[in-house]
Amino acid sequence: MGVLVMHSVWFKRSLLLSFVAAFTIVACGGGGTPNAGSVKVMAQWTGDEQASFMAVMKPWTDSTGIKIEYEASRDQDALLTTRVAAGNPPDLAAAPSPTLLTNFAKQGKVVALDNIVDMTKLKAENAKTWLDLGAPTGDGKLYQIYSWVSLKGLIWYNPKNFQAKSYNIPNSWDSLVSLQGTIKSGGTTPWCIGLESGAASGWPGSDWVKEIVLSQAGPTVYDNWWQGKQKWNSPEIKQAWTTWGTILGPGGGNVYGGPKTMASTSFTDAGTPMFQTPPKCYMHNQASFITSFFKSANPSVVAGTDYNFFPLPDITPQYAGAHVVAGDAWSMFKDTPQARSMIKYLTTAAAQEIWVKRGGKISPNTKVSLDSYPDALSKSTAQILVNTKIGKYDAGDLMPADMKNAYWSAVLKFAADQTKLDTYLNDLDKIQATAYK
């Protein structure tokens, strides 16, 4: 009897499998040519973000009649790599990690944009940082354009809690350290940190380290570091980790719940203990997107009164005004008239402004008015971004994926046990030796 059951299951499965295979063959042989007047776009926006993106594109689709065939994936590294290798890439892709796009540029899989977009206009409307980031291969050609950007290293706090204890906003690194000492001696943990993020677990802590590297050791070390020319166990990088260690406190004692809570709390929920009464922590370091998670956890909280932010204070005076930034980079895989038209549209202030007004995004385009930002918080983020003296892209996202993942894993290990830092850094150096080849 049992065998019979299994037998029929296997038979059905194999039948199904052969059908699927037959379908695939015919489907591949049968066509695949896109109809005239469409652009295949791949990005990782789903849900609300996808709706915002479609709202951005609506004026363009309405006026040109070109259709967008949109494909969203959170596992873009794998999907895009496979599609490019199979010779079936989308026309345009927006990636949160430009390294992947840079690799494709080096392999000649993406189209240089210099002759496609209006470079004079682009240069006039965007800070040099973004154009430099868009030409990462060293041949001087532009391969990526940035439609929206974000600022990292924002310290979120609850103004009501600060007022109740009459804490002041720290304006220097020393005052930040002394503030966390004050909070600690008051019997509460100063920080909330959550490192859990599925396959990307550890990245929220990696933000801390890279922000400290940039502000403490400066842009040259920072660039050498992500380019693989600065050893992880060099004094500068090691100092950044130990500086983060002073934030975490011995044994993670400055963080709500200690290492266990850090490891098991999703970055999306990490900041919410700030809104409990009494608060479980007073400060939380995260990029600007986190406000939507504050709101979904506590629908009653109001921007400005219940949560606000200050930028992570400068560490070395020489590098004051240095900020880690990130953004949505676009690359073109197929040079079609429709894709050209779309990428030109994406560089315009008019297009970028639509998402800015819907909230959650900041435009790198200086022609986008500060009045377009829906609330005071995003406006002041945009202001900081405009005034950024040293803007550097997220180092983790610039490293080869192998290095980046090892970096994240090291963050998880460091948060659990700071005493073995040398071992972690030596392991990272071993990976650095092979990852850049």
Partner 1 sequence: MDFSVLLTDLPTLVAVIVGVPAVLAAYIVGGEYLVRRLPDKARPAVRPWIWVAPALALVAGFLVLPSIGTVITSFQDKHGNFVGLQNYATQLGGFPTGGAWIAIRDNLYWLIFYTLFVLAFGLLLAVLFDRVPYESVVKSLIFMPMAISSVATVIIWKFMYAYQPPGQPQTGTLNYLLNSVFHQDPRTWIQDTSPLLGLIPINNLALIGAAVWGIVGFSMVILSAALKGIPGDLLEAARVDGAGEITIFRRVIFPLMMPTVVVVGTTLVIFALKAFDTVYAMTAGNYETDVLANRMYKLLYFSNDNPGASAVAVILLVTVVPVLIFNLRQFRAVEARR
417 forms part of the interface with partner 1 (CB under 8 A): no
- The Cα–Cα gap between 180 and 41 comes to 46
Stretch that binds partner 1, among 15-23, 90-98, 154-162, 210-218 (CB under 8 A): 15-23
Kind of pairing between the strands at 308-311 and 154-157: antiparallel
Closest distance to partner 1 from the beta carbon of 235 (Å): 27
- The Cα–Cα gap between 281 and 435 comes to 38
199 forms part of the interface with partner 1 (CB under 8 A): yes
Q: Which residues of 375-387 are buried (b: 16+ CB within 10 A; e: fewer)?
A: eebbebbbebbee
Stretch that binds partner 1, among 75-83, 136-144, 160-168, 340-348 (CB under 8 A): 75-83
Stretch that binds partner 1, among 228-236, 300-308, 334-342, 397-405 (CB under 8 A): 397-405
- The Cα–Cα gap between 376 and 353 comes to 16
Residues that bind partner 1 (rule: CB under 8 A) add up to a total of 49
Stretch that binds partner 1, among 22-30, 88-96, 147-155, 167-175 (CB under 8 A): 22-30
1 forms part of the interface with partner 1 (CB under 8 A): yes
- The Cα–Cα gap between 332 and 145 comes to 10
CA Rg value for the chain: 24
Closest distance to partner 1 from the beta carbon of 74 (Å): 12
Among 48, 132, 375, 402, binds partner 1 (CB under 8 A): 402
Q: Which amino acid, 331?
A: S
CA nearest neighbour of 315 among 382, 379, 227, 222: 222
420 forms part of the interface with partner 1 (CB under 8 A): no
- The Cα–Cα gap between 378 and 260 comes to 32
Contact by Cβ (8 Å): 44, 63:
no
Closest distance to partner 1 from the beta carbon of 13 (Å): 13
Closest distance to partner 1 from the beta carbon of 205 (Å): 13
436 forms part of the interface with partner 1 (CB under 8 A): no
322 forms part of the interface with partner 1 (CB under 8 A): no
Name residue, tokens 């063959």. 25
172 or 423, CB closer to partner 1?
A: 423
Could you tell me which residues come within 8 angstroms of residue 239 by beta carbon, excluding any fewer than 6 positions away?
216, 217
CA nearest neighbour of 288 among 362, 188, 390, 227: 362
Residues 262-291, interacting with partner 1 (CB under 8 A) = 263-265
Strand, helix or coil at 158? coil
Kind of pairing between the strands at 322-332 and 67-72: unpaired
412 forms part of the interface with partner 1 (CB under 8 A): yes
115 or 264, CB closer to partner 1?
A: 264
187 or 198, CB closer to partner 1?
A: 198
424 forms part of the interface with partner 1 (CB under 8 A): no
N residues, the chain: 437
256 forms part of the interface with partner 1 (CB under 8 A): yes
Among 180, 261, 363, 418, binds partner 1 (CB under 8 A): 261
Vertex 381 angle, CA 316 and 227, to 5°: 50
Among 77, 306, 335, 429, binds partner 1 (CB under 8 A): 77
96 forms part of the interface with partner 1 (CB under 8 A): no
Vertex 319 angle, CA 316 and 321, to 5°: 115
- The Cα–Cα gap between 225 and 176 comes to 26
36 forms part of the interface with partner 1 (CB under 8 A): no
Closest distance to partner 1 from the beta carbon of 437 (Å): 7
Closest distance to partner 1 from the beta carbon of 121 (Å): 33
- The Cα–Cα gap between 427 and 402 comes to 12
**Sites of contact with partner 1 (CB under 8 A):** 1-6, 18-19, 21-23, 26-27, 29-35, 38, 67, 69, 77-78, 81, 103, 198-202, 256-258, 260-261, 263-265, 400-402, 404-405, 409, 412, 435, 437
